[in-house]
Amino acid sequence: MNGWLLAAAVLLVAGLAPVLWTMAVGEPRTRLVAQNLSTVLACPVFLLAAQGFGRPSYTDLALVLAMLGPAGTLVYARFLGVLPRSRVVLGTAWTVVPATVLPLCVVAGPGRAMAKLLVIGVLVVAGNTVTSAGTDRHG
Amino acid sequence: MSVLPYLAAGWIFLIGVYGLVTSRNLIHAVGCLTVTQSSTYVLLVAIGYRRGGTAPVFSDLPPGARVVDPVVQALALTDIVVGATVTALLLALVVQLRKRHGTVDPDKLAELRG
Amino acid sequence: MSRPVRLWVFLVGAVLVAALYAWACFDLPSFGGDHHPYGDRAVRTALAQHTANAVSSVNFDQRAFDTLGEQTILFAAVLGTVVLLRQVRGERRTDPTPAPVADRVRWFGVLMLPVALVVGFYVVAHGPLSPGGGFQGGIVLATALHLLYIAADYRALERIRPVGLYEVGDAVGEAAYVVTGLAAVLAGSAFLANVVPHGTFNTLSSGGTVAVLNIAVGMEVACGIIVLLARFLDQAVEIEETAEETGAR
Amino acid sequence: MAAGELLPLVVAVPLLGSAVLVAAGRRLTRIAADALGAAFAAGTVALCVFALIGVLEGPAVAWAGGWRPKDGLGVGIALVGDPLGVGLAALASVVTVAAFVYSWRYLEEPPPRHAGGFPALLLLFQAGMCGFTLTGDLFNAFVFFELMSVVAYALTGYRVEEPRPLQGALAFGIVNSLGGYCMLLGIALLYARTGELGMAQIGRALGTGEPDALVLAAFVLVMTGLLIKAAAVPFHFWLPDAHAVAPTPVCMVLSGVMVELGVYGAARVYWTVFAGPGGVSHSSCTRTLLVIGVATAVLGAAMCWQQRHLKRLLAFSTIGHVGLFLIGVAVLTPEGVSGTALYVLGHAGAKAALFACVGILLARYGSVDEYELYGRGRELRLVGVLFGVGALALAGVPPFGTGLGKAVAEEAAGQQAPWLPAVFVLVSAVTGGAVLRAGLRVFGGAGPRPPAEKADGEPETSGAEEEPETGDRLGRVPGTMLAVPVALLAGALAVGVLPGFAAAVGAAGDHFADHTGYLGTVLGSGSALSHVSASPHWTAAGVVLDLVSTALAIGCAALAVWRPGRTGHPGASGWWTPIRRMQSGHIGDYVAWALAGVALLAVLTVPGMLL
Amino acid sequence: MDEVLIAIAVVLVAAAATAAVFHRDPLRQSMVLSLLGLFLALLYTFVQAPDVALSQLAVGSAVTPLMILLTVRKVKRGPRSGSEDR
């Protein structure tokens, strides 16, 4: 019973399924927040899967998503004209991401793998801090 | 579980075609076409899966390991990128069609009849 | 046909196709089965060619002719979009006004651009080794360049992106792929044969022409998507119809 | 340079040409870009002819990348130089060169930086068609199928200033993309069952198993993609919309070759993959293709008679002829295949020439409407003659290749069912008659002037106020636009009269309709030709039937021109109107009919195979 | 455990595809499409296909939404230039 995959499954069911539900029924502003939240939650799932399957080369996926996720959110913000401030995304970014990256670093041990994990963690947190800070005046 | 991914691919294909048939906006129709397209990738990749196998990338794997089928992955990988550019071509047609017809509702396009 | 009739025609077709497809699914080997003869041959051949990523070996070595076709579809789609979205009579081009964007977002775009470019080149270069390759890396590079538009505005992007250069880059990527294939013929082997020595396993130069074709495809995909998005951005942001040209003539 | 090594070059040269044109396109003038494009296309024709000469004795196989199979099992892609395949590649290249020469002075001056756009797209189209005919791998065939489709969408919607081309191109794009995805699903099912992607390898692997629901579903899905490309009923709706609006040089290539490649693909996939013991039985496949073929032929001819827009009239006549080709293929005999091949060769020349003449009318008078052009074509004497000769060729007048092909295909179909030759005669007569009627009215000004406006207000696409594609109306018809139809009609004539040509096509038909022979050639266990049929030739019965259909065509045309009341001139409301209203131009309709078509294919193929 | 993850991902993909079809407004649909792309990437990772997942991530997260939204902007703007920002 691989604990990492179990954590990934929990993140999937508890995190991404509600995001899909809010995306389906919410109104524009909450849908943009839901889209932002989806990328924040997806990165840890990729990292957990990489560790769960025992394949460090899967972390490239999380690296690319860490970069393109916030970019995707900004694309929507540009066209909706507003970037809503959302504490949910900020809170998730600062809690879930470190909660997954740090144990993985401990397991990976010092070296190139840990450096990569830390870079991915920093990218996710920084990117989503920017997108969740929001712009108050109408874009 | 032995047939769930295949049936899911079939469901995605039919729901995509349903969207195409009942669409009232051509951009929505092109979006439904991408949904139909993704059903082919789900089927392709599901066919290549081998229980207990891992990805056939041997940079961090001993050569004798039990791996899944790389051929379907190669087919799906190129198709996803190419499908995006074909979608772009169809969206370009929609942009110009809006300019010339003034609408993107297929019901209001009345140029070619009979 | 009226909408209800169309729906009925669809439903009849859908029910029968669903029945046919479901019936066929139960004849398929069960999900996760062990019968993958072509896959096993492909993995053995990839290891023999010293290419660590078997998927890249299938894509750029064993079935390189397929990838030539796929890449040409991408080249044709980009060329088609360029031809379709050209500026016609009665349309004028206005220069884009700077968009009001929060400083944090603008800084994010400027700082993330180099990082994204590095990651994009990494994904292209490590095609034969780790997951990735020309196709994925090319898209990441194209998106990286457009961070300037996403985070800042179109004027910032246009300053550093001469579209003509990227159109030539797109064509050079396609031509490089074909020329590599023809070079193999001139070297006496078959079209698109892997004639270059395969190098040592799991190093950047391993896999012979796999690395060369990877870079050619990466260049073509990156330039192609940039040209594609450039045409869409021009239409959406700059090109407008002059007063007398109404939408529905 | 063995024929085998030439095969990949036939695809590589146009690709290189299009890359060079796009790279240099920004600085080239219009004339230089067209000349470069025509040069690359002509080079490919030369390569095709060399390969054809090398392949006449027997099919050649080239393994891309040198990946030859070891004891029957391999990882590479096979390019099979079958005489029929290479012949079709040569036909595609010749028609592309004709399109290049025709569009030399035809198309409007492109914007300064896009001089290389149109020629590069034409070269990519040629590469896609040549690749589709030469490949021996099912997924590779899907890739070239997609390449042909993508380039055709862009070329059909080329005139973005007009509202109609965009609607036609988008309908074309969505329906053909859906066909491509169906084909990919079918290929995935076959790969799951056999673990192979090459046509010969799948055919061999299916031979060991029993035909079951998976083989049926794979057959239906792959055939759907190919029949959508071939514009067979009920997948045909996109063709008239796309042809009515595409620039004329593109129409020549679309109607002349691309649609016929759909029929070629269907025949090739059946003969190599599903003709073995474990695949779809001959009776099931014949029943399916026969029903689809007859329906396509009859509907195409009837709708063709109703049209007043000249390009739509020619498009529906193409659908009618595709129905005849499907019948010729459906009988699954070497004679049927060689007869259909001759018919395709002759039809390509005649149909492309007719489109060229309509292009001249559009360029000169800015209209392609039969009523509005009434009597205005008198001054274009040569174009009128060419139009009449083309119409007679469509009707199958003896010395032409269409006549020979129709005669041989009729005789082969006659062995399957006695009433089939009647379908051949009637359909070719009605389509030939409709074109002749239009010719008489436009070029001869014969009979009473048809009513300008339609009586019952039924919405119908008339080609009245079309924008000429040459920017402004042409004063004098340039030489290149006249030379092309003459050359194409001469080609159609040569197919019928050239000694030895029919015999070579007959041999090609034997190689094509030979499942075990194909497997032997590709998989190395070469086996002799299993069945050598009598080479096709002019027979008395064939000539008589051809003359009957020509006479019928002339009769119909004369009746329509001089007695408009009786034969229900085009647009008259009657029992035929609901069928016409189905051609509604609405994308949702076309997709619904496409899915219903998949179900129809399944229902037609299932009896005798599984139930 | 792998099978459970695959099952969850397949259900999420099917649900996202259905949602994408039933959202008639293109802007809303493009958001659900980007979410569908994300779920597809997750499914491909659980089925041990990282290359395909990387391809889907790269295309689905920024390129396709950008194209759809640029088309929506051009369609909504109509012939006369609208007031929105560039």
Instruction: Give residue-wise pLDDT tens across range D95-115.
Output: 999 999 998 877 766 666 677
C75/D568 Cα distance (integer angstroms): 49
Q: Any contact of D with A, at least 3 CB pairs below 8 A?
A: no
Q: Are C208 and C62 spatial neighbours (Cβ–Cβ below 8 Å)?
A: no
The minimal CB distance from A67 to the residues C115, C130, C131 is found for C115
- pLDDT range class, residue D286, cuts 50, 70, 90: very high
Q: What is the SS3 assignment for C13?
A: helix
Structure tokens at D345: 């060769």
Q: Residue E27 pLDDT > 60, yes or no?
A: yes
Q: B22 or D566, which is more confident?
A: B22
Closest by Cα among A107, C11, D385 to D377 = D385
- pLDDT range class, residue C26, cuts 50, 70, 90: very high
Q: Which of A64-73, D172-181, D222-231 has the lowest mean pLDDT?
A: A64-73
Q: Within 10 Å of residue A7's Cβ, how many Cβ atoms?
A: 20
Q: How confident is the model at residue D403, as a pLDDT?
A: 92
C64 touches chain D (CB under 8 A): yes
Read out DSSP for B69-113?
-HHHHHHHHHHHHHHHHHHHHHHHHHHHHHHHHS---GGG--SS-
Percent of chain C with pLDDT over 90: 49
Contact C12 D124 (CB under 8 A): no
* Gyration radius from chain A CA atoms: 15
How many beta-carbon pairs under 8 angstroms link B with E?
128
Q: How confident is the model at residue D452, as a pLDDT?
A: 63
State yes or no: ipTM above 0.90.
Answer: yes
pLDDT tens figures, A82-108 = 777 888 888 888 899 999 999 999 888
Cα A94 to Cα A9, A41, C222: the distances in Å are 20, 11, 33
C17/A126 Cα distance (integer angstroms): 48
Q: Residue B66 pLDDT > 80, yes or no?
A: yes
Q: Within 10 Å of residue D306's Cβ, how many Cβ atoms?
A: 23
Alpha helices in C103-237 (DSSP H): 103-125, 134-151, 154-160, 163-186, 209-233
| β-pairing verdict for C91-93 and C239-241 | antiparallel
Q: Residue D19 pLDDT > 90, yes or no?
A: yes
Q: How confident is the model at residue D145, as a pLDDT?
A: 96
Read out DSSP for D492-542?
HHHHHHSTTHHHHHHHHHHHHT-HHHHHHHHHS-----S--PPPP---HHH
E54 touches chain A (CB under 8 A): yes
- Say if pTM beats, i.e. exceeds, 0.90: yes
C33/B65 Cα distance (integer angstroms): 16
Report the residue of chain C nearest D188, measured CA to CA. Answer: C28
Report the residue of chain A nearest E57, measured CA to CA. Answer: A65
Q: How confident is the model at residue C241, as a pLDDT?
A: 75
- pLDDT range class, residue D31, cuts 50, 70, 90: confident
C39/C34 Cα distance (integer angstroms): 11
Q: What is the mean pLDDT of chain B?
A: 92
Q: Any contact of E with B, at least 3 CB pairs below 8 A?
A: yes
Taking contacts as CB-CB distances below 8 angstroms, the residues of chain D near C88 are 111, 160-161
The owner of tokens 């106020």 is D465
Percent of chain D with pLDDT over 70: 94
Q: C159 or D108, which is more confident?
A: C159
Q: Chains near B, with 3+ CB pairs < 8 A?
A: A, C, D, E
Q: Which of A84-93, B74-83, C119-128, D124-133 has the lowest mean pLDDT?
A: A84-93
Q: Residue C189 pLDDT > 90, yes or no?
A: no
Phi-psi region of C133 (alpha: psi -120 to 50; beta: other; left: phi over 0): left
Q: How confident is the model at residue D528, as a pLDDT?
A: 66
Cα C236 to Cα C156, D414, E76: the distances in Å are 16, 59, 10
* Gyration radius from chain D CA atoms: 23
E77 touches chain B (CB under 8 A): no
D404/D198 Cα distance (integer angstroms): 34
D42/D48 Cα distance (integer angstroms): 10
Q: How confident is the model at residue D387, as a pLDDT?
A: 93
Please report, for chain D, the start and end positions of each structural domain, with discontinuous segments joined by +. 1-135
Closest by Cα among D267, D365, D367, D260 to D311 = D367
pLDDT tens figures, A46-67 = 999 999 998 888 999 999 999 9
Closest by Cα among D92, D159, D571 to D362 = D159
Q: What is the mean pLDDT of chain E?
A: 87
D510/D513 Cα distance (integer angstroms): 5
Contact E58 C140 (CB under 8 A): yes
pLDDT (mean) for D74-98: 93
Bond before D234 cis per omega within 30 degrees: yes
Closest by Cα among D401, D434, D436 to D542 = D401
pLDDT (mean) for E40-63: 94
Cα C120 to Cα A63, C174, D105, D334: the distances in Å are 11, 19, 45, 54
D275/D289 Cα distance (integer angstroms): 14
pLDDT (mean) for A40-48: 94
Q: How confident is the model at residue D573, as a pLDDT?
A: 57
Containing H/E element for D80? strand D78-81
B22/E17 Cα distance (integer angstroms): 15
How many beta-carbon pairs under 8 angstroms link B with D?
124
Q: Residue D456 pLDDT > 70, yes or no?
A: no
Q: Residue D466 pLDDT > 80, yes or no?
A: no
Q: Within 10 Å of residue D541's Cβ, how many Cβ atoms?
A: 12
What is the set of domains in chain B, with CATH numbers?
4-49+64-108 (1.10.287.3510)
Q: C121 or D465, which is more confident?
A: C121
Q: How confident is the model at residue C107, as a pLDDT?
A: 85
Chain C contacts to E (CB-CB under 8 A): 32, 53, 55-56, 94, 96-100, 123, 131-133, 135-136, 139-140, 142-143, 146, 150, 153-155, 225, 228-229, 232-233, 235-237, 240-241, 243, 245-247
Q: What is the SS3 assignment for B62?
A: coil
The minimal CB distance from D583 to the residues B37, B75, B114 is found for B114
Report the residue of chain A nearest C154, measured CA to CA. Answer: A78
C214/C212 Cα distance (integer angstroms): 5
Question: Which residues have CB under 8 Å from A89's CB, separation 6+?
Answer: A33, A36, A37, A40, A128, A131, A132
pLDDT (mean) for D31-60: 91
Structure tokens at D225: 């993609």
Q: A14 or C93, which is more confident?
A: A14
B85 touches chain A (CB under 8 A): no
Q: Are D391 and D354 spatial neighbours (Cβ–Cβ below 8 Å)?
A: yes
| β-pairing verdict for C91-93 and D60-63 | unpaired
Q: What is the 3-state secondary structure (H, E, C) of C126-142?
A: CCCCCCCCHHHHHHHHH
Taking contacts as CB-CB distances below 8 angstroms, the residues of chain A near C114 are none
| β-pairing verdict for C239-241 and D60-63 | unpaired
D20/D124 Cα distance (integer angstroms): 12
Q: How confident is the model at residue D611, as a pLDDT?
A: 67
pLDDT (mean) for D500-515: 89
Q: Residue C227 pLDDT > 80, yes or no?
A: yes
Containing H/E element for D78? strand D78-81
Taking contacts as CB-CB distances below 8 angstroms, the residues of chain A near E15 are 20
Measure B66 CA to nearest chain E CA, in Å.
12
Structure tokens at E51: 């290359």
Which residue out of B27, B59, B60, B77 would a mutagenesis test of the A interface target, given it has the greatest number of A Cβ atoms within 10 Å? B60
E52/B38 Cα distance (integer angstroms): 12
D241/E66 Cα distance (integer angstroms): 30
Overall size of chain E counted in residues: 86
pLDDT (mean) for C174-198: 88
Percent of chain B with pLDDT over 70: 99
Q: How confident is the model at residue C247, as a pLDDT?
A: 39
Q: How confident is the model at residue C146, as a pLDDT?
A: 87
Q: Are A58 and C131 spatial neighbours (Cβ–Cβ below 8 Å)?
A: yes
Q: Residue D290 pLDDT > 70, yes or no?
A: yes
User: In the beta sheet, which residues pair with residue D63?
Assistant: D78
Q: How confident is the model at residue E80, as a pLDDT?
A: 42
Q: Chains near A, with 3+ CB pairs < 8 A?
A: B, C, E
Q: How confident is the model at residue D209, as a pLDDT?
A: 84
Q: Residue C128 pLDDT > 90, yes or no?
A: no
End-to-end alpha-carbon separation of chain D, Å? 52
Q: D105 or E42, which is more confident?
A: E42
Q: Within 10 Å of residue C186's Cβ, how many Cβ atoms?
A: 9
pLDDT tens figures, C234-247 = 888 877 777 544 43
Please report, for chain C, the start and end positions of each structural domain, with discontinuous segments joined by +. 36-241
Q: Are D562 and D447 spatial neighbours (Cβ–Cβ below 8 Å)?
A: yes
Q: Residue C248 pLDDT > 70, yes or no?
A: no
Taking contacts as CB-CB distances below 8 angstroms, the residues of chain E near C36 are none
Q: C13 or D585, which is more confident?
A: C13
Q: Are B39 and C110 spatial neighbours (Cβ–Cβ below 8 Å)?
A: no
pLDDT (mean) for C35-61: 91
Q: How confident is the model at residue D567, as a pLDDT?
A: 54
Q: Are D324 and D297 spatial neighbours (Cβ–Cβ below 8 Å)?
A: yes
Q: How confident is the model at residue D453, as a pLDDT?
A: 59
CA dihedral A11, A16, A21, A27 (to 10 degrees): 120
D467 touches chain B (CB under 8 A): no
